[in-house]
Amino acid sequence: MDYDIAVIGGGLVGSSIAYGLSKKGHGVALLDEGDRAFRASRGNFGLIWVQGKGWDFPAYAKWTDEAAGLWPAFDAELQESTGVDLGYTRPGGMEFCFDERGWNDLNDCMARVRTNSDGAFEYEMLEHAELRKRIPEVSSAVIGASYSPRDGHVNPLYLLRALHQRLDAGRVDYLPNRHVDSIECLHGGFELRTNDERLAAGRVVLCAGIDNVRLGKLLGLNIPVRPNRGQLLITERVQHFLNYPTLQVRQTREGSLQIGDSQEDAGRDDGTTTEVMNRLASRAVSIFPMLKTVHVVRAWAALRVMTPDGKPVYQQSSHCQGAFGIACHSGVTLAAIHAGPVADWVAGGNPHPLIARFHPDRFDV
C-alpha cells in the first residue's frame, strides 16, 4: 500500500482533512487538479459564519457553532507551525437589511437558530441608530442588521496556503495536476488511476467539490451536488473603517473590500456577468456611499458546491469499506471541524454524534 489514506481534492475541505490526518501520523496522499480547475476555495468570501445557519436544520446549527468554536485553537496552531498570519478575528458579524420585510425575516431566522442550537447561539437585532454607533459610515438605506458575536473572518487564501505549507512539513504527499480517472475498490484498499500513474491507498476520501458527483459514481456513492455560481468584487485598499465582517461587504486586513455575493445557477460557467457586477457595485455604494470613488480591482466568480438543502454531506460507503464522500460550501467555517472530528472519523475513529445527520439519505425521503 502506497498510502494509508488518499484524499482527492486539494481545496479547503481536502486540505483541512489531510492536515488533520497528518497530525495523527497517517500516511496521506493529497491529489489535486491543475491551476485552472474549478476552485471554490479561491472564490471564498472568508467568513466564519454561524448566524442564520441551521434555522431549518438543528444539527447544522450545532455543527456550525461547534466548528466556529474550534477556530481560535486551529488558527493559533496553524500560525505557530507555519508563520502564516491568517488574519483571523472574531469581532462578530452582521447581515444588513434594507426593508421591514427583510428585518422580520432575519429576526425570525435568528430566533429559530437560537432554538435549534438549544440556546447556544447568541445574537442581537440592531436598529439603524444602534447599528450606526458601531458602523458610523452606514447609510440610511440600511434600516438595521442582525449581529452575532459567534461570527468571524479570515483570509481564506492564506488559510489554504498555510494548510499546504503545513502538509509539506508533515507526512503528506501533495500531488498536483492529477486527474483521477478511476478508483477501484479492492480487498482492503483502493487503487486510483490518474493521468499516468497508479496509486494504492487503504482508504479514500472524496473532497473534489462538484467533481464528487463523477468520483462518487466510481465508488457507488451518490453525492448529490451541483454548482452554484457566486460572483464578488474586490476593491483597492482603503483606510480601515469596517470592524465587522458582514454578509454583504468585508474589509480584509490588507484594507481591500470584498463585495458579495450572488447566487446563480449557471452550470459550469464560472465567468462574471456585467449585470451582477453592476448590482453588487450599486448595493455596496448604497450601504456605504463613500465607496463610490473606490476602484474595483477585479471581479471574481467561483462555483459553490451546493447540496440539495445547502447543508453538508458526510457519508461512508456501506459496500466499499473505507470510502468516504464529503461535500459542502463552507470550507472556511468548517475547516477546524474537518481537521478534527471529521479527519478522525475517516481514519477509522468513532464518528462525531452529529455526522450521521448529514448522510445524503435525507434527500431520499
| Residues that bind another protein in the complex, under the rule CB under 8 A | 32-36, 39, 41-42, 157-158, 160-161, 164-165, 168, 174-177, 233-236, 254, 259, 271-274, 277-286, 291-301
Q: Shortest Cβ distance from residue 183 to another protein (Å)?
A: 21
Q: Shortest Cβ distance from residue 221 to another protein (Å)?
A: 26
Other CB atoms within a 10 A radius of the CB of residue 251 amount to 21
Report angle CA 82, 86, 88 to the nearest 5 degrees. Answer: 135
- Cβ nearer to another protein, comparing 33 with 75: 33
- Cβ nearer to another protein, comparing 43 with 216: 43
Q: Which residues contact 50 (CB under 8 A, 6 or more apart)?
A: 64, 65, 68, 113, 121, 148, 150, 151, 333
Q: Shortest Cβ distance from residue 315 to another protein (Å)?
A: 28
The number of residues in the chain equals: 365
Distance CA 54, CA 65 (A): 10
Q: Shortest Cβ distance from residue 240 to another protein (Å)?
A: 17
In this structure, what DSSP letter does residue 83 have? -
Cα–Cα separations (whole angstroms), residue 91 to 125, 148, 149, 261:
16, 9, 6, 21
Distance CA 345, CA 156 (A): 24
Other CB atoms within a 10 A radius of the CB of residue 79 amount to 16
Distance CA 45, CA 215 (A): 27
Grid cell 472568508 in the structure block, residue: 46
Q: Shortest Cβ distance from residue 275 to another protein (Å)?
A: 10
- Tell me the sheet residues that pair with 205: 7, 324
- Cβ nearer to another protein, comparing 176 with 220: 176
Q: Shortest Cβ distance from residue 35 to another protein (Å)?
A: 3
- Cβ nearer to another protein, comparing 293 with 350: 293
- Cβ nearer to another protein, comparing 106 with 172: 172
- Cβ nearer to another protein, comparing 42 with 114: 42
- Is the bond preceding 261 in cis, omega lying within 30 degrees of 0? yes
Distance CA 363, CA 309 (A): 8
- Cβ nearer to another protein, comparing 73 with 297: 297
Q: Shortest Cβ distance from residue 291 to another protein (Å)?
A: 5
